[in-house]
Amino acid sequence: MMKAILYLLEHDFRNFFRYKWWLVGLISMNLADLFIMAIVYNYMISGAVASEIKSYFNFFAPGLAVTGLFASAFMIGREINMERRREVHHYMLSLPMTRLELAIGRVLSGGLRGMLYMSPLLLTCFIFLGFPNVWQFFLILAVLFLLAVGISGLSIAIAVSTSSLEKFITARGLVYYTLFFCSSVFYPLSLIQQLGQDGKFPMVLVTLAEINPLSNASDMIRNFLLGYPPFAFTSIINVLAFSAIFTLGAAFAYMKIIERT
């Protein structure tokens, strides 16, 4: 089983590095967001928010690492959607491996590619905010890996459920905006909760922001590096549940749908 999965990892990583200069450009853009946008926003945030987060640069750095992880892990869905449309998946089905190995390999490769892309962003975060202790470091990597695999699964589930590139891009945009803007990636969760209590933000979206795995992963890194917000064990449970649901769901959907097409 491992041999088949390793072959798929090699196949998908080779495709990933085919666009290495494009990836370098994207990472540079992410770092530019941190060093330009975050520093500028540091002078624009309200006094109440500034008193809580101290520095928007420090606050945004962990969120940026999670953002990069999300975007890169999601790329596997676009490739699988293209394979379906061009019927390349018939070649994948002809390989000497089971459907389960094929599904697990694709989900895993999407997650590992996300971890690889995110590495320089996380390292930048450590350099400017400080390094966590050993246990915190391994917990950060474990949670981010679970998150990356879950995102890869979510992307694959959307890819095999949409018959055209336009539908996939539309669904991807909807997921992007919902998960990014209903999270604590760009602003503190306490601000979203306060807006909800004031009736300025729907409570259902406040609840979504609280259980959003992007919020949970970002805030866990902030707690380890900045000391706020308070650490919550439920954040790890939320990420684990997200990963389990979409990994298993994507594997099942991938096996069933590619056999029918």
Question: Residue 63's pLDDT is what?
Answer: 92
Q: pLDDT digits over 127-168, tens only? A: 999 999 999 999 999 999 999 999 999 999 898 888 788 888
Whole-model pTM: value is 0.89
Q: Is pLDDT above 80 for 171?
A: yes
User: Cα–Cα distances in Å, from 218 out to 13, 84, 89, 222?
Assistant: 26, 34, 35, 6
Q: pLDDT digits over 228-258, tens only? A: 899 888 989 999 999 999 888 888 887 777 6
Mean of pLDDT values over 179-203 = 90
Q: Is pLDDT above 90 for 44?
A: no
> Exposure string (b/e) for 178-207, b if CB count within 10 Å is 16 or more?
ebbebbbbbbbbebbbebbeeeebeeebbe
In the chain, % of residues over pLDDT 90: 39
Query: In angstroms, rounded to a whole number, what is the distance separating the alpha carbons of residues 242 and 212?
Result: 9
Residue 62 · residue 225 · CB < 8 Å: yes
Question: Residue 258's pLDDT is what?
Answer: 66
Question: Residue 136's pLDDT is what?
Answer: 95
DSSP annotation of 54: S
Q: Is pLDDT above 70 for 193?
A: yes
Q: Is pLDDT above 70 for 5?
A: yes
